[in-house]
Structure 1
């Protein structure tokens, strides 16, 4: 399996398979939303689009990075979302990195969104589809986020199916990354003290996050377990 690890700005063509990685915190939050019963997640291009979508669908809920804001029902924190009842709901998500990365590759035939909490499920889907050429989109810090790169490299190793891979070095890199330090120190608005631990909770969920185009929207749903 050929694997590429690129930042959003480094994408020059439409990949055959794209795995968009955002560990802290977009796609950890997305997995938690499905665990709490959400039916689907719509990835918004902008905050204005997120608000427009929810204004047209009063039963949808909007989620964003940073502190609470008028019109938004939740923030991008897995710990703050883990007790929510989202049964049957549609979540509109807009973040500064993860959703941007997914939208950048929305034309790819297969788009998966990933973090450590769905790492094994993501690798299993890549194996089951017989994927031979995978582009991992590193969304944080202009493609240099160590937690995202560590997660992507871990998934790539697991996807080869060449035997067990020790997750400890990859989790350590993520735990000592700049983003992890900022979360641990409470420097990121809209965060919770438990967010970092939840972002590093390897394989908590058995499903991958599969993004599909439902024109004009890009929609995220849980894939097969």
Structure 2
């Protein structure tokens, strides 16, 4: 079994893919489903998201650009905001600067695509291990095509769990992520000191950073549903 960590999305994923955008898309995705959403649709563009809501009272939109809510959307990309809502009976349609693009890259070839963050790290690692037959790839979304410390750290946490569960061959990306994980102080400090963490704090969203730094508080793993028939969207359900 191979374990691979891509510090940025590269594609060509043959088996299980764990998509990581800890600040904040994959963390918020867990919250939407935890709070009762029937499904989560990740869209290729904000325009696709807006078109999906037309004529439907059961669809809510969440997303951001540059950390701020997209005009016309119901919510931003805040796990703290999502945690205070009730989404029972609703479908949340989501588009973000980095995380949704990474999910689309994973879905091009991946057999199983899961959304992973620190909040569901143990559960996501266990689910990936149970599904994999050939390779587990941990894919960091990064920020604006640049490597993000927060995602690499999270990949290191996932890799540590996965390596403890069985024999793997690993690549240099895995070793880099593990080195970051083992040399970092604690999750809150690591995420807060990242460039994106500092940007969110400057926007007054430090609470989101602290929320995203919680480790394994959820057993829910957003899982790409097979046979999605919504053009320009990927359908994730609670797994």
TM class by smaller structure: 0.7 to 0.9
Q: Give 2:141's aligned residue.
A: 139
Structure 1: gaps spanning 5 or more residues:
none
Match of 2:151 among 148, 151, 156: 148
* TM-score in terms of structure 1 length: 0.86
Distance 1:57 1:8, change over 3 A: farther
Q: Give 2:2's aligned residue.
A: 2
**Is 1:197 the counterpart of 2:194 in the alignment?**
no
Deviation for aligned residue 1:113: 1.0
Deviation for aligned residue 1:130: 4.5
Deviations 1:32-59 (A, max 9, x none): 1112111110001001000001114332
Distance 1:42 1:201, change over 3 A: same
* TM-score in terms of structure 2 length: 0.82
Q: Give 2:121's aligned residue.
A: 119
Structure 2: gaps spanning 5 or more residues:
167-177
CA distance in 2, matches of 1:192, 1:10: 29
Counterparts of residues 135-214 of structure 1 (less than 5 Å) = 135-141=137-143, 142=145, 144-162=147-165, 169=185, 171=187, 172-186=189-203, 192-213=205-226, 214=228
Deviations 1:183-216 (A, max 9, x none): 2232xxxx63311110101111112121124123
CA distance in 1, matches of 2:125, 2:100: 20
Deviation for aligned residue 1:78: 1.1
Deviation for aligned residue 1:18: 1.1
- Does the CA contact (< 8 Å) of 2:33 and 2:222 recur in 1? no
Distance 1:174 1:70, change over 3 A: closer
Deviation for aligned residue 1:170: 6.3
- Secondary structure of the corresponding residue to residue 134 of structure 1: strand
**Is 1:78 the counterpart of 2:85 in the alignment?**
no
- Secondary structure of the corresponding residue to residue 5 of structure 1: strand
Deviation for aligned residue 1:97: 0.7
Distance 1:15 1:175, change over 3 A: farther
